[in-house]
Structure 1
Amino acid sequence: MSLSIYNQLNKMSHEPIEVIVVGLGFMGFGFLSLTKNSPGISVPLILSRRPQETVEYLIKEGYAAQIESNPNTIKDLHKKNVIAVSDDLDLIKSYENKIVLEMTGTVDYGTDVALRTVEAGKHLVTMNPELQATVGTPLKELFDQKNLVITDVIGDQPGSLARLIASSKLKGFKPIMAGNMKRYLDIHATQSKMKPWADDKGLAVRQTVSFTDGTKQAIEMTLVANYFGMSLFGAGMQGPRVDNFDQVLNVFNWNDVPPEGVVDYMIGRNLFPGVFIVAEHEDPHQQKYLRYLNLGDGPRYILFDSYHLCHLEINETIANVALYGSATINNGNNPVTSTIALTKFDLKKGTVIDGIGGDTIYGSIRKAATNSEYLPVGISHGAILKRDIPQDTPIRLEDVELPSTPATRLLKLV
Structure 2
Amino acid sequence: MNLSHLLNARRAAGKPVRVALIGAGKFGSMFLSQVPHTPGLEVPVIVDLDPERAREACRTVGWNDSLTAATTFSADAAKAISGNIEVIVEATGNPAAGIRHARAAIAAGKHIVMVNVEADVLAGPLLAEEARKAGVVYSLAYGDQPALTAEMVDWARATGFRVVAAGKGTKYLPVYHDVTPADVWSHYGLTAGEAQSAGMNPQMFNSFLDGTKSAIEMAAIANATGLEVPAGGLLFPPCGVDDLPHVMRPHDKGGVLEKSGVVEVVSSLERDGRPVFRDLRWGVYVVLEAPNDYAADCFRQYGLKTDSSGRYAAMYKPYHLIGLELNISILSAALRQEPTGQPHGFRGDVASVAKRNLRGGEMLDGEGGYTVWGKLMPAAASLAADALPIGLAHRVRLKSDIAHGAVVRWSDVEIEANDDTIKTRRAMEASFSTRGK
Match of 1:35 in 2: 35
Q: Which amino acid aligns with 1:263?
A: V
Residue of structure 2 in register with 1:280 after alignment: 289
- Tell me if the contact between 1:92 and 1:120 (Cα under 8 Å) persists in the aligned partners: no
Q: Deviations over 1:233-284 (max 9, x none)?
A: 4321222224x33233333551566887101122123323101111012142
Q: Does 1:181 align with 2:169?
A: yes
**Matching of residue 192 in structure 1 with residue 200 in structure 2:** no
Q: What TM-score do the two structures reach when normalised by structure 2?
A: 0.85
Q: Does the Cα contact within 8 Å between 2:22 and 2:77 map onto a contact in 1?
A: no
Matched, 1:234 2:228: no
Distance in 2, matches of 1:316 and 1:252, equals 29
**Aligned residue for 1:398?**
411
AA matched with 1:114: A
2:6 to 5, 8, 32: 8
AA of the residue aligned to 2:342: N
Distance in 2 (CA, whole Å) between partners of 1:104 and 1:367 is 26
Percentage of matched positions with identical amino acids: 28
Q: Distance in 1 between matches of 2:258 and 2:329?
A: 30
Q: 1:337 is matched with which residue?
A: 348
1:346-391: CA deviation from partner (whole Å, max 9, x where unpaired): 1100111000111110001001112211000011111111111111
Distance of aligned partners of 1:301 and 1:59 in 2 relative to their CA distance in 1, 3 Å threshold: closer
Q: Deviations along 1:176-201, whole A, 9 cap, x unmatched?
A: 10122122341111111125374476
Distance 1:285 1:391 in 2: 52
Residue 409 of structure 1: aligned partner: 423
> CA offsets per residue over residues 97-155 of structure 1, 9 Å max, x none?
22101111111111221121112111100112111111112212321221211111111
State whether structure 2 residue 98 is matched by structure 1 residue 98. Answer: no
- Aligned equivalents of 1:336, 1:293: Cα separation in 2: 35
1-side partners of 2:248 and 2:87: how far apart? 41
The residue aligned with 2:315 is: 303
Read off the aligned partner of 2:21 and give its amino acid letter: V
Equivalent position of 1:122 in the other structure:
110
Residue in structure 1 matching 2:212, options 212, 215, 220: 215
* Aligned equivalent of 1:18: 18
Partner of 1:251: 247
Q: Secondary structure at the match of 2:121?
A: helix
TM-score (normalizing by structure 1): 0.89
8 A contact 1:198–1:208 mirrored in 2: no
1:171 deviates by 2.9
Q: Which residue of 2 aligns with 1:50?
A: 50
How far is the alpha carbon of 1:62 from its aligned partner?
5.5
| Equivalent runs, 1:75-90 vs 2, <5 Å | 82-90=70-78
Residue number in structure 2 paired with 1:378: 391
Kindly provide the amino acid, as one letter, of the partner of residue 115 in structure 1. Answer: R
Q: Secondary structure of 1:371's match?
A: helix
Answer whether contact 1:231 1:258 (CA < 8 A) is retained: no
CA 253–171 in structure 1, closer or farther in 2 if over 3 Å, else same: closer
Contact 2:121 2:216 in 1 (8 A): yes
| Paired letter, 1:308 | H
Deviations 1:280-306 (A, max 9, x none): 121422222211111135211111111
Question: SS where residue 183 of structure 2 aligns?
Answer: helix
* Distance (whole Å) between structure 2 residues aligned to residue 289 and residue 201 of structure 1: 48
Aligned length: 397
Tell whether the 8 Å contact from 1:343 to 1:361 is kept in structure 2 after alignment: yes
Other structure's SS at 1:304 match: strand
Of residues 208-217 and 35-44 in structure 1, the stretch that sits farther from structure 2 once superposed is 35-44
Aligned Cα RMSD in Å? 2.3
Shift of 1:46: 0.2
Q: Which runs of 5+ in 2 are unaligned?
A: 186-191, 270-274, 428-437
Post-superposition shift, 1:169? 2.5
Match of 1:388 among 401, 422, 437: 401
In structure 2, the residue matched to 1:69 is none
Q: What is the DSSP-based 3-state SS (H/G/I as helix, E as strand, rest coil) of the residue aligned with 1:232?
A: coil
**d(CA) in 2 for partners of 1:142 and 1:175?**
29
Contact 2:81 2:88 in 1 (8 A): no
What SS is found at the alignment partner of 1:12? helix
Would the aligned equivalents of 2:20 and 2:46 in 1 still touch at CA under 8 Å? yes
With over 3 angstroms needed to count, the CA separation of the structure-2 counterparts of 1:198 and 1:292, relative to structure 1, is farther
Q: CA deviation at 1:52?
A: 3.0
